[in-house]
Structure 1
Amino acid sequence: MKKYLLSFALILCSLTSFAQTTYEKIMTEKIAKLEACKTPEEFQTLANDFQRISEKEKDKWQPLYYAAFSFIQKGRVQMREGKMQELDITADQAMKYLTSAESLADNAEIHLLKKMAYSLRMMVNPAQRYMTDGAKASTELTAAEKLDPDNPRIALIKAEDMYFTPEQYGGSKTKGLEMFKLALEKFNAYKPKTALDPNWGKSEAEYFISQPVK
């Protein structure tokens, strides 16, 4: 009987290990695609893929996080294309996944994406929404920084804010460039907790550092 119990336990462990390995392989493949996506449609497709994974892996926050991140990246492309009136819907979709992710984990990465989602909403009408969505974005950034002050993505987003904010509102391309350099230093020293935890942003910091200040 002990032999049968041991065999059953070994089989169960093998099946669990296989399922975990399959999940990690699929997630790794999808995460890698984030770098290649260029259009809102490509990011939408990837968000749908992460949603399907989250429906199977109900106890894991990362698929929900990456679904939200895909929507935020979609929104950033829409913003560059001048499709400002579409940002509310895109930000709301991201926030839906972030709310679900936050019910499973409370970490700096989730708060940072919430900051980015509120920032997208603010960009629809910055003058009107600075005191509402802008304030919420600031609150989420502060929460993220308290949880993980050495997180390089926090430094990256702060650098972006400084770089793109007009000087009359406190921004500075010169200061932003220095902050991108600080972010890159943090990227070089920071190690994600797991292979599936967020690890994006370093190439963006490198890109801005390589650009001449105008």
Structure 2
Amino acid sequence: MKKLILSFALSMLSLTAFAQGQYEKIMTEKIAKIETCKTAEDFNALSNDFQRIADKEKGKWQPNYYAAFSQIQKGRVMMRENKMSELDAVADHAQEFVDLAEAADKNNSEIYLLQKMIYSLKMMVNPMERYITFGTKADEFLKKAEQLNPQNPRVTLIKAEDIYFTPEQFGGSKKNGMELFKAALEKFNSYKPKTALDPNWGKSEAEYFISLSAEK
């Protein structure tokens, strides 16, 4: 009887390990696709893929994190296409995933940063009218993300973007933004994610903006 129980326990452990291995394999494949997405449709499809994973993997924050991140990237593409009136819906969809990710992992710098990015999307619908509400909230969550992990290179990257693209009359500065891109790259060069599935995006963007400075 003891041998039977032990055999059953070992079988269950093997099945659990196999399922975890499959989960990590699928997640790794989907995360890699973030770098290849170009259009809003690409990011939307990828977000749906992560949502399906999240529906099966209850209690894990990463699938909902990446579902939200893909929606935010979709919104950023739409900003470049000047589709500002559609950003609220995209931001609201991303918010659903952020709420689920935060429920699974409280006080996570990466999740707070996504919250900041969501508020920034909503602000961009009408920056002059919405800065006091959504712009202020975006700043608040950026500060929280930095407090939770001052070494998070993505926090410095997003700070760099904000300063670089903000007009000088509103406190922006191409020069100061570029210095922050360089600071972000330094952090990326020494940064190691806690797990293979934790966020590791942003380094190529920092390198891109630094390359622009080198060309001048």
Instruction: Tell me the TM-score normalized by structure 1.
Output: 0.98
Deviation of the 1:2 alpha carbon: 1.6
Match of 2:113 in 1: 112
Match of 1:133 in 2: 134
* Consecutive unaligned residues in structure 2, runs of 5 or more: none
Equivalent position amino acid for 2:123 in 1:
M
Deviation of the 1:5 alpha carbon: 1.4
Match of 2:33 in 1: 33
Distance in 2 (CA, whole Å) between partners of 1:28 and 1:175 is 35
3-state DSSP class of the match of 1:95? helix
Distance in 2 (CA, whole Å) between partners of 1:7 and 1:62 is 33
Residue 201 of structure 2 is aligned to residue 200 of structure 1: yes
Deviation of the 1:9 alpha carbon: 1.1
Distance in 2 (CA, whole Å) between partners of 1:25 and 1:59 is 18
Distance in 1 (CA, whole Å) between partners of 2:164 and 2:194 is 29
Equivalent position amino acid for 2:54 in 1:
S
Match of 1:19 in 2: 19
Residue 93 of structure 2 is aligned to residue 93 of structure 1: yes
CA deviation profile, 1:17-65 (whole Å, cap 9, x unmatched): 0000000000000000000000000101000000000000011010000
Distance in 2 (CA, whole Å) between partners of 1:212 and 1:110 is 30
CA deviation profile, 1:127-146 (whole Å, cap 9, x unmatched): 00000000110111111111
3-state DSSP class of the match of 1:211? helix
Work out the number of aligned pairs and report it: 214
3-state DSSP class of the match of 2:213? coil
Match of 2:172 in 1: 171
Residue 9 of structure 2 is aligned to residue 9 of structure 1: yes
* Consecutive unaligned residues in structure 1, runs of 5 or more: none
Distance in 1 (CA, whole Å) between partners of 2:14 and 2:124 is 50
Instruction: Tell me the TM-score normalized by structure 2.
Output: 0.97
Residue 84 of structure 2 is aligned to residue 84 of structure 1: yes
Distance in 1 (CA, whole Å) between partners of 2:55 and 2:184 is 34
Deviation of the 1:90 alpha carbon: 0.5
Distance in 1 (CA, whole Å) between partners of 2:11 and 2:77 is 47
Equivalent position amino acid for 2:44 in 1:
Q
Identity %: 69
3-state DSSP class of the match of 1:193? coil
3-state DSSP class of the match of 2:175? helix
Equivalent position amino acid for 1:52 in 2:
R
3-state DSSP class of the match of 1:192? coil
